Amino acid sequence: MYRAATLSITIDEAYTYTQFVSRPLAVALSEYDANNHFLYTLLAKSTTRVFGPGDLALRLPALAGAALFYAALYRLILRLTGATWWLPLGFALVGANTNITDLLPLARGYGLALALFTLGLSLLLDETPSRRLAGTALGLAVAANLTFLFPVAGLLGGVIWLDRRAAIPTVTSAIVVALILLIWPLWHAHRESFYFGTDTLAKSAFSLMGNMLARDWDNRSVPVIVASALMALTFGSTILAGLLTRARPLFLLAASIGLALALQMGAHYGAGLVYPYGRTGIAWILLFGVSLVALGSRFRAVALVALPAFYFYWRTWSTTATIEWAWDSGTRGVAESLAAQPRPGDRKIRLGATPLLQHTLNYYRLSRGWTWLDDVSAEGVRKGEFDYYAVIGEDREWAEKQGMKVLFDHPGSGSALVKP
């Protein structure tokens, strides 16, 4: 809740608001984009209408998803471990992962989808599963974030194998719910709409592990290889244990991993779809952690993994910046500093911005009703004539060489507001 209230809006959240949430529903339905996490778009449209536009209102569905995630995660870990010493340790091993905690308060569909997928999986581990509710949760997870399609399909495949005809309510509910919400947006999608990802499984694994090992990419090389190898070993062990024991928890996890991986590879080689990268692989981070907990409930030595994991979680934790959008940690400060500057009475203020900052600054302009600010431009920043410049990286170096006056300087991100 603290991070949701204090973190600067990130570029992806800003794009979600400016392109889909703040515009008519018909736009979200007909202009599909990988950034349009449709269920989240619908919920955010509701919260910003009720409470008015603003950072916290935009992130309220994410906070609800975070609460649901931790409740569902506790339920899931309890089903895997029972009321043992491994319960709190396993809960922390999964729930404190910085790959997960980083995304939970942000106005994106990742955390919401993670919560719904976790709930669906936990329900299916009950002795008498709530099949329709589990299916509904899984269908909503796909609608919240389409990257959960393959893990959900793998889990449903495992349910069909174990339960045969009894699986029909779960599978039917998941398919119907997902289709109702997504059929129209996906009808307008193109192959180019699914653009964020990578071309190899190795790069995918490295990105997933790297985000929880270090914020500085230079410090990731050796640990990320070890962590990726551990993830591959964990997935292989879970699949093997699930097939050999046929124990329901391990088998469903094995299906979620094995079938999803097969489908992911088939889509890559058959249709050219990219593999998950960073945040788009959050479902795999959850499956990795939950698999470790499931194996640890049978093989106690697995608990030793928790010790180095907690060290790296502590090392990468931050309340002031996100891992994947670190440059935006100072954008709110840039916007508020601009709002404090004197304004010409005869025209709007013209602000030029480095492209990375443009969408986020336009978000603040729109959400805060700053009619005194013209549409923020990233076109020809070094050539145009602007009243102020929001710069970072090479554009900041250029502004310093021009002798511009620094009005705001954010040391963490390197972003600045300058004036000729």
Q: What is the DSSP string of 155-196?
A: HHHHHHHHHGGGGHHHHHHHHHHHHHHHHHHHHT--GGG---
Q: Regarding predicted confidence, which is higher, 292 or 219?
A: 292
> Looking at per-residue confidence, does 299 or 358 come out higher?
358
Judgement on whether residues 346 and 370 belong to the same structural domain of the protein: yes
Q: Tell me, what's the pLDDT at 33?
A: 77
Determine the average pLDDT of the residues in 47-68.
95
43 and 162 housed in the same domain: yes
The answer to whether residues 183 and 282 belong to one domain is yes
- In this predicted structure, the answer to whether residue 153 has a pLDDT above a threshold of 60 is yes
pLDDT at res. 268: 86
Strand 351-353 versus strand 388-391 pairing type: parallel
- Of the CA atoms within 13 Å of residue 362, those in its CB half-sphere come to 22
| Nearest CA-CA partner of 9 in 394, 395, 334 | 334
Does residue 239 fall inside a structural domain?
yes
Distances (CA, A) of 275 to 9, 186, 190, 356: 26, 19, 17, 24
pLDDT at 415 (0 to 100) = 94
pLDDT in tens, 268-326: 898 888 888 888 899 999 999 999 999 988 888 888 888 888 988 988 888 999 988 99
Asked if residue 321 is part of any domain, the answer here is no
Residue 131 has pLDDT above 60, yes or no: yes
Question: What is the amino acid identity at position 285?
Answer: I
Predicted confidence at residue 217, as pLDDT, reads 57
Please check whether residues 304 and 163 belong to one and the same domain. yes
Residue 161 falls inside a structural domain: yes
Q: Do 132 and 170 touch, CB atoms closer than 8 A?
A: yes
pLDDT category at 23 given cuts 50, 70, 90 is: confident
Question: How does pLDDT run across 160-174, given as a tens digit for each residue?
Answer: 999 999 999 999 999
Q: Which of 262, 293, 316 is the last residue of a domain?
A: 316
pLDDT of residue 216: 66
What percentage of the chain has pLDDT greater than the value 70? 96
Indicate the DSSP class of residue 417. E
- Name residue 405's beta-bridge partners: 419
The answer to whether 87 touches 77, Cβ cutoff 8 Å, is yes
Look at residue 234 in the predicted model and tell me its pLDDT: 93
Please, what is the average pLDDT of the chain? 90
In this structure, the answer to whether residues 133 and 260 fall within a common structural domain is: yes
pLDDT in tens, 248-277: 999 999 999 999 999 999 988 988 888 888
Which pLDDT band, with edges at 50, 70 and 90, does 412 fall under? confident
pLDDT at 353 over 90: yes
Do 130 and 217 share a domain, yes or no? yes
| Total structural domains within the chain | 2
Q: Which one has a higher pLDDT value, 319 or 30?
A: 319
Q: Are 221 and 334 within one domain?
A: no
- Is a pLDDT exceeding 90 seen at residue 381? no
Check whether residue 354 and residue 270 sit in a common domain: no
| Residue-wise DSSP of 126-164 | SSS--HHHHHHHHHHHHHH-GGGHHHHHHHHHHHHHHHG
Q: What is the mean pLDDT of residues 328-349?
A: 92
Q: Considering the domain boundaries, does residue 203 fall inside one?
A: yes
Segment 41-67 shows an average pLDDT of 95
3-state helix, strand, coil in the chain (%, to 5): 70, 5, 25
**pLDDT band at residue 197, thresholds of 50, 70 and 90?**
confident
- Do 162 and 125 form a contact (C-beta atoms < 8 A)? no
Range 113-120 average pLDDT? 97
310 and 338 in a common domain:
no
Instruction: Examine residue 409 and state whether it is found in any structural domain, yes or no.
Output: yes
Q: Point out the domain boundary residue: 289, 316, 343.
A: 316
Is residue 351 domain-resident?
Answer: yes
**Does residue 82 sit in the same domain as residue 50?**
yes
State pTM to two decimals.
Answer: 0.93
Range of the domain at 367: 326-419
- Closest C-alpha to 60, from 82, 75, 45, 78: 45
Rounded mean pLDDT, 100-107? 94
Same domain for 78 and 179, yes or no, is: yes
Q: Which residues, other chains included, contact 90 with Cβ-Cβ below 8 Å and sequence gap of 6+?
A: 77, 80, 81, 292, 293, 296, 297
Same domain, 21 and 170: yes
Higher pLDDT, 156 or 129: 156
pLDDT at 191: 66
pLDDT at 97 over 90: yes
Whether the predicted pLDDT of 408 surpasses 80: yes
Of 251, 284, 316, the residue that ends a domain is 316
